[in-house]
Amino acid sequence: MRTRIFTALVTAALLTAGAAVAQDARKETLVVANEFGPNMLDIHGVGANRPAYGVAWIAYDRLMSHGKKTLPNGVTTYDYTKLEPELAERWEVAKDGSGVTFYLRKTAKFHDGSPVTANDVKWSFERALAMGGFPQFQMKAGSLEKNEQFEVVNDHTFRVKFLRPDKMTMPNMAVPVASIYNSTLAKKNATADDPWAATWLKNNTAGGGAYKVESFKPGQEIVYTRFDDWKNGPLPKLKRIIQRDVPSAGNRRALLLRGDIDMTYDMPPKDFGELAADTGKLKVASVPIENALFYLGMNVTKPPFDKVKVRQALAYAVPYDKMWDAAMYGRGVKLYGGSNEPKTIAWPQAHGYKNDIARAKQLLAEAGFPNGFETTLSFDLGGATISEPMAILMQESLAQIGIKAQINKVPGANWRAALLKKDMPLMLNRFGGWLNYPEYFFYWCYHGQNAVFNTMSYQDPEMDKFITNARFAESKAIYDDQVKAMIRKANNDVPRVPLFQPTQDVAMQKNISGFTYWFHLQPDYRQLVKN
């Protein structure tokens, strides 16, 4: 009898201990469900999508990061006016403005245990330039253009030479593209035809960030585990992150309400609005996305969108209010019904177009298309919760002026590659500039020499001059004048029609704290805590 009692007590104790261990593990594990995840692990890779930025942010480090501030609504956000140490423990800008010297943390290690050196930093910056496309243009956006600018002083000292005075140079080394790769590991997996190990790094990481990628199943999930030897910031509280792809917004909402997941970033504005109104179980953090907008883009190299009056006609044909109600549900900022003559340098700001079918028909007739034409309207299926109702409404409105638009739904994993082809005549898309300056947005989207996010293939020497003058203006008066000139010309030439400035909405369980809004819009799991 005593033996049976003792055995029962031991069994009960073990079960209790096991439950406690399981409970502790659950407290240290975050389960996230998003509409879609990264299509690769390499932010420098051709066609890397937005969730791939999130991989770079936590699996890799940058020389610097940004400080933080609290908004009036209580949400924590990054502070683009402040740079703080990450891989570099400190830095010194030369008194003559010729460059900056970074002093790396001597305790920093990559995930394989090897030390991080200045050679890795140099190789990583050179790789970003060599890979072309988005990473190359991102570096150039901060006047980081030549390998000769990057100098290894010693194992833990790295110098960047400035080509010119550029306020974008320093913050541009704190964006995801400036991630530091383990050059020794990458080179081991390079080939003569692939010297930068692009193929291997699509599905493997060579970083030293706060989290390691434990497993990656494209289209299904990515799992991270904490890198306990991380020395470049406070060690995260969460030991494990499970980020799953759940395309259905309804399923994600149900999982969240049942407590099966801790957080989701991707749901329709309607769902976020309803969840925010019900404060009983969940909480929603909302932040207007800086320097970002939804837009209707027209490829000016594809007739008839090479005619400005055709583009203006479509700007008057957009059913703005219907889109606002059916797709945005009031969560964002309207970018229409203002003036085509900018009064301020704020960006984005409302233009002077509004829904006016009669005016649209008149402009279309003046352009030589009184009976309209046929075209294709494309959108990213990965963002269908917003883009699809907007596309349907746009299709219906275009039909009123004689334009037959066939809707083309591009899978989310293929959207970035489709953009780079520049063969879509008409599209609905969203773009946001990482650094919060109007001229930065325009550099990416309107400059004729920028081949990445100028998805309209728009080229105009006068616009290029305005953008360059604003980037390197010698006085506030010149800067303000050139920014207004940029906005004015964009409104009149209208290669893209701004629709709405979105908000970033994140729904989470009430026991989650530490959410921080970042310009790249990807989860920063390093600050999150489960109470």
Neighbour-count burial of 155, counting CB atoms closer than 10 A to its CB (0-12 exposed, 13-18 middle, 19+ buried): middle
Residue 126 burial (CB < 10 Å; 0-12/13-18/19+)? middle
What is the model's pLDDT at position 16? 42
- The letter for the amino acid at 163 is L
Q: Which one, of 50, 40, 36, lies nearest residue 289 by Cα?
A: 50
- The Cα 245–Cα 464 span in angstroms is 40
- In this prediction, residue 23 carries a pLDDT of 58
pLDDT at 414: 87
Residues across the chain: 531
Q: Which residues contact 23 (CB under 8 A, 6 or more apart)?
A: none
Question: Would you state the pLDDT for residue 412?
Answer: 82
C-alpha to C-alpha distance for 377 and 406, rounded to whole angstroms: 6
SS3 of 372-422: CCEEEEEEEHHHHHHHHHHHHHHHHHHHCCCCEEEEEEECHHHHHHHHHHC
pLDDT at 281: 82
Residue 18 confidence (pLDDT) above 90: no
Q: How far apart are the first and last CA of the chain?
A: 43
Q: Report how far residue 331's alpha carbon sits from residue 395's, in angstroms, rounded to the nearest whole number.
A: 23
Structure confidence at residue 22 as a pLDDT band (50, 70, 90) = low
Could you read off the pLDDT of 227-255 as tens digits, one per residue?
999 999 999 999 999 999 998 889 999 99
For residues 352-375, give the mean pLDDT: 98
Predicted confidence at residue 280, as pLDDT, reads: 78
Compute the average pLDDT of residues 166-173. 95
- Position 24 confidence tier, pLDDT thresholds 50, 70, 90: low
- Residue 14's pLDDT is 34
Domain ranges for the chain, please list them. Answer: 35-201, 292-504
CA distances from 284 to 276, 332, 441, 501 (A): 5, 15, 28, 18
Radius of gyration of the chain (CA): 25
The answer to whether residue 19 scores a pLDDT higher than 80 is no
Same fold, 35-201 and 292-504: no
pLDDT at residue 207 in the model: 98
Helix (H) or strand (E) holding 251: helix 249-258
User: Over the stretch 89-124, which tens digit does the pLDDT of each residue have?
Assistant: 999 999 999 999 999 999 999 999 999 999 999 999
Confidence bin at 12 (pLDDT 50/70/90): very low
Lowest mean pLDDT among 13-22, 30-39, 175-184, 489-498: 13-22
The pLDDT assigned to 36 comes to 86
Coil, strand or helix: which one is 276?
helix
Residue 220 has pLDDT above 70, yes or no: yes
In the predicted model, is pLDDT for residue 451 greater than 80? Answer: no
Pairwise CA distance, residues 434 & 219, whole Å:
26
Residue 133 pLDDT grade (very low, low, confident, very high; cuts 50, 70, 90): confident
What lies within 8 Å, CB to CB, of 271 at 6+ separation is 249, 253, 507
Q: What is the DSSP letter of 177?
A: G
Q: Per-residue pLDDT averaged across 82-95, rounded?
A: 97
CA distance 34 to 221: 10
Confidence bin at 58 (pLDDT 50/70/90)? very high
* In the predicted structure, residue 4 carries a pLDDT above the cut 60: no
Q: Which helix (H) or strand (E) holds 271?
A: helix 269-277
Structure confidence at residue 11 (pLDDT): 40
Give the whole-angstrom CA distance, residue 305 versus residue 297.
Answer: 10
How distant is the alpha carbon of residue 472 from its chain centre? 25
How confident is the model at residue 93, as a pLDDT? 97
CB 442 within 8 A of CB 493: no
C-alpha pair distances (Å), 450 with each of 52, 147, 306, 447, 453:
22, 20, 19, 5, 7
Give the integer Cα–Cα distance in Å for 392 and 377: 10
Rounded to an integer, the average pLDDT of 290-313 is: 97
| pLDDT score for 384 | 84
Closest CA to 155 of 209, 199, 117: 117
- pLDDT tens per residue, range 315-362: 999 999 999 999 998 899 999 999 999 999 999 999 999 999 999 999
Q: Which stretches of 165-239 are assigned E, i.e. beta strand?
A: 211-217, 221-226
At the second CATH level, the architecture of 35-201 is: Alpha-Beta Complex (3.90)
Beta bridge partners of 103: 90, 157
What does the alpha-carbon distance between residue 503 and residue 500 come to, in Å, rounded to a whole number? 10
Distance CA 391, CA 327 (A): 10
Among 178-187, 263-272, 421-430, name the one with the lowest average pLDDT.
263-272
Question: What is the second-level CATH architecture of the domain 292-504?
Answer: Roll (3.10)
Distance CA 90, CA 270 (A): 45
* Max intra-chain CA distance, the chain: 100
The predicted structure's pLDDT at residue 200: 98
What average pLDDT is seen over the chain? 92
